[in-house]
Structure 1
Amino acid sequence: MVRVRRSLWQEPRPADAPPVGRADWLLVGAFAVAALAEGALRPDLAWRPLVTVLALALAPALLWRRDHPLPAALVGWGVAGLLSVLQLTAHTDDLGLLSMMVVLVLLYSLARWGSGREVVAGSAFVAVVVALGMYAAAADWADALGGVALLLLVVALAAVFRYRADLWHRQQREIRNQERVALARELHDIVAHHVSAIAVQAQAGGVVAGVQPEKAAEVLAAIESEASRTLAEMRSMVRVLREEEAVAYTPQRGVTDLPALARADGTPTVEVAVDGSSTRLAPPVDAAVYRLAQESLTNALRHARGATRIRIDVRRERDAVRLRVIDDGRTEPGPVPEPGFGLLGMTERAQLLGGSLIAGPGRAGGWVVEAVLPVETPA
């Protein structure tokens, strides 16, 4: 119980309070008209001008009720308490207007939009005013219980909507966090792929520079182009990671972008074969196939010893798409080494989509990465 009270006391205000809108002005207008009409037409109302003016003092509080929930509640329920004091001192009948039931809206706003401290302080003040009003009206137990039940119902309704809104915002933050984790993986894939390509070009440049100096400029131009693309994609991805809200950025690459990975003017050469029916995939699967192929190509460029040829093959097999990345590099005899973090991340990416991924030495030598993913993402 102590923990619950401490948690409520430390509860901050909700951050999504909407500004004053047309509905708020309509509420204020309707209340003002009802208060004026009741003040003018109710035959048994004592101290008619004073009561009407005090009732109209609630109108501004209705506009403050979300931005300043505690002051609004103190003003509204303070007016109700003042009328109860006047009723006791003047020994007259009930001075309240029926239209002043709008103070329930202020109580709702206090519980919905106030901080924990404001809710506790405001609720204590409301309890005192309600007790005073019941005493002034000489209410019996049935009326007292009915009034308390109504107040508790209003507070409970506000708490339910507050909890639902808080839960929705938490879910949105969790979704954004998951998206950022995915984007961080994409950033790793992008950097690893392009840096590997730059390293290969630089190695080729070192060989060419001694034999054909005139081609060194072409190699340097290719390195510059690759580095520029890397920086552009990194900046785009980092900008997304820094933003709290969604921002516009280029769509994720997919199977149709795989042919751009092909390379015939280098060692090793990269061949890409894509089955036409493999281009109609669910967006998450489409992006995953591209990233798995890109990561596998990066690993082959980095680790395949003496490789002269790397082949990327994507084909549709009924309700699944199969990706194979094969190189002809030399494999060391002995046990297969433990998979690194890159391969573990690739396996996890495939499993999250309901697929599988295996990697290991090929029967004819080299290294093979094979992933099988469902065409549609699991529900």
Structure 2
Amino acid sequence: MTTTPASRALPNRVNRTLMLLLKIAIIGTLLLTLASEVLSSTPGERPPIVSWVSWVQLAVSLFVIGVYVFYRPGRKRWIAAASIASLVTTGFDMLYEQGVRGVGTAELLALGLLMLFSVRHWDASPGRWVAFANGAAVMLIGFRVFAQDFASAAIGGSVMIFMAMMTMIGFGAYLRSLDRLRRETQEEVRQAERLELAREMHDFVAHHVTGMVVLAQAAQVTNTDPKQAFADIEEAGLAALTSMRRMVKMLRNDDGGAGTNPLGDLAQIEDLVERFNREGTDATCFISPELAGSSVAPEIAATAHRIVREALTNVRKHARGATRVRVVVAAASGNGLEVSVRDDGRAARGRLAESGAGMGLLGLGERIEAVGGQLRAQTRPEGGWETAAWLPRAAPEAR
């Protein structure tokens, strides 16, 4: 059905577990590499542990590994600190000849992983220069690692370091492009929802203004108390203003489009289900009789209509083998109503399942929150999927 976070809870938990195990394996590899580097040596060579300079390099390596372990998006200042510390340590090693192989392989690997974050969060504080400092630290650390090797080995090792660094830069740039694409897609969905709300504003306000006109006309031809007539007109006018304010607060740009969409209501939900039923799926609809008439505000009815439309679309796109769909619009506690769409299908796989990525419910959730409601989408214990929302019958006052 849909690919919302709630409906994809199990795959997300599996992914998080795998990523956690991968990070633990990387950290373990870095620490083992650091330990073996400090303690091991070739025949006729002293181990790095005998030099106090190597202890400084060990401390810096542990600091760089710690930055990788505790790094969170946007905390590039720590990457900058790790890169500067590595550069200073490398410069100190070049000036002070200690006569043993330097410590830096684990630090090199950790800096390479931090390079991915430097590029992915390119524009984060303190700036883009962090990536260049990180790259310099990666390349210059070869003076420590290859100081005791032959010139050919040092050149070959430096080339390998450069190629590995370029790979991390490319992967980081790829992840950065994915992040930007997702942000742009979310913004497009929100903008489309705001434009649709702007178009529907005409219908909502027209509904209330028409009621005001009817009240004024009735007062002219009947013996209605003028105070009562003015009170009714005032109430209708305040409702129109409330409806307009509620939608205007969600808009950020002017709508240059023309035309209006038809105003959906509870009665049109039955038409949606009937059309869906004709497409081959056993779909039924129940609307509580006590919700008929004027007990539900127009914008609430339109939101309920939108919920059913979006849920049925998701059933058609994402629910494999769905044979039954049940749509229920019933009275709920707290002077509200609950709209639910349940099916017995299985989650689709492949490109079709990923085509929406939950973007449809992103805009729907924004609309539901605007009228004071709550949305949930989740698996059903007996199988299938459920999209449901609680809505107030009377839309809350917009402030």
User: Which one has the largest radius of gyration?
Assistant: 1
Which structure carries more relative contact order (alpha carbon 8 Å, separation 6+)? 2
TM-score, length of structure 2 as denominator length = 0.48
TM-score, length of structure 1 as denominator length = 0.50
